[in-house]
Structure 1
Amino acid sequence: MKHIWINAGELSGDMQAAALLSALREREPDLRATGMGGPNLARAGQKNLFRVEALSVMGIAEVLTALPRALRMLARIKEELAALRPDAVVLVDAPEFNFRVAKIAHGLGIPVYYFIPPKIWAWRTGRVRFLHRHVRRLFCILPFEPDFYARYGVAVDYVGNPLVDMVQWPELETLSPVSGRIGLMPGSRRKEVESLLPRFGEAARLLLRQGRDVRFHCLRAPNMTEEKLRSLWPADVPLVFEQPEDRYAAMRRCECLLAASGTATLEAALARELAEELSLSI
């Protein structure tokens, strides 16, 4: 029985890694998966020894605060990898943490694969040497990435973006935007949400003061409670919450979206073909 370790360092990576694991288990039903993840990987059948939420940080101050916790987690991951000796380690995005996991696994003689490698074609290109040395193969989700990595002798495949397969296209095609409904997608990292949602609230209050006929719907991430989000939102502005499981349909019903940059904006584009291009990346 094959045994792999999947290491997802963020909730967006957890979602995409879950799609990967589900596809792998269709090919090999007895495949065991252990590692670091969140609710999506757990539902796909992974035994999460470490929770992805523990690394959901953003900003220098928060990263420095989380550093001791991250170092302790890396030491524990090394212990688990040495004891379990999985057939392969699959890293998902989150390079600041996963590069260290790659070095640990490589040092233990465990093959390392990287699903959704870091965007080093945009910055810190020198890190490609680390990938060449420690990672056996990359699996990219952007079509232009293989050419970049191939120039540096890195083994790479383009596999497409798993988000595309998560969208229930027939269902979404039956849904239309609701006039005046504005969707809010403030992200999943605590610092990110604390920074963006109050700004979204200020914009919402301004629109209402101008007499606009608009209503606001917040698409919360699985790790964000309604109570936490309400504490960051103006008490005098009505807000409806949408559940994470229904996020694509909720996005489709919005006439306009305010979204944190990153996976949220890609999901928004997939959820609805915004004919008037009303999706705003903040």
Structure 2
Amino acid sequence: MLAGQNNTIATNQHEASLNQARELRQLARNGSFNGSTSGFASGLAQGNIVILPKAWADDFLVFCQRNPVACPLLAVSAPGEPLLETLGEDIDIRTDIPEYHVFRHGKLTEKTNDIRDLWWDDMVTFVLGCSFSFEDALMRAGISLRNIDCQSNVSMYRTNIPVESSEHFGGTMVVSMRPFKPADAIRAVQITTRYPKSHGAPVHLGHPSMIGIDDISAPDFGDAVPIHDDEIPVFWACGVTPQVAIANAKPPIAITHAPGKMLVTDIASEQLSVL
């Protein structure tokens, strides 16, 4: 009886998350929501977005394959196809992200919540795993997350960690940071290792200067959060890494999500785990 009750609770929670994900996508489509998606639709996977013309897509695919920690592939669309049926109900990649960044020849030129006017018939969409997808697993283990506690975007930083280049795309890794007490940091490593499609285990712990971060209080993307004296910063690879690669490659046009403002899918995060 108890097992049956637990299954019912889990099913109800999953249905509630699905409803929230679909509502959130609809609000983004209507232009009514443009905030961070961290903490929304508990238990469902979120994705980073890169959209490129077909002429650049093959090379970007190679870049992702060479950098699976920073760019774990969840889906790749057919050229010109805006719907992502494998990731959820009625997902239109042109409207369902809270905020898009538009790059032209490597420069960020526009921020918008609707890219239908920018859509080309040969656009290819890449959906990459996101660390927001493992946040629910951390919280279920009793580990609090500062960005969620503070109701803020996660802190993200440029680093000196090199990525492996393709023909045109290359540069250095962007990381997201969450502070923990040492015991929780160890547990976070253990838990997130199970989620390679959501960046997996951290790439660095402590000493920000060792990875080229001079001022931990001034993130390059997202929001600063307090780090207490008994905590260490823990860094994961981040799906904003392609935005650095796009700046270096300089394609005629590239469209991404705004950092921290993801595609919320209908896919359960546990489907992306390995254990």
Whichever of the two has the greater Rg, that structure is: 1
Higher helix share: 1
Higher strand share: 2
Q: TM-score, normalised by structure 2?
A: 0.24
Q: TM-score, normalised by structure 1?
A: 0.24
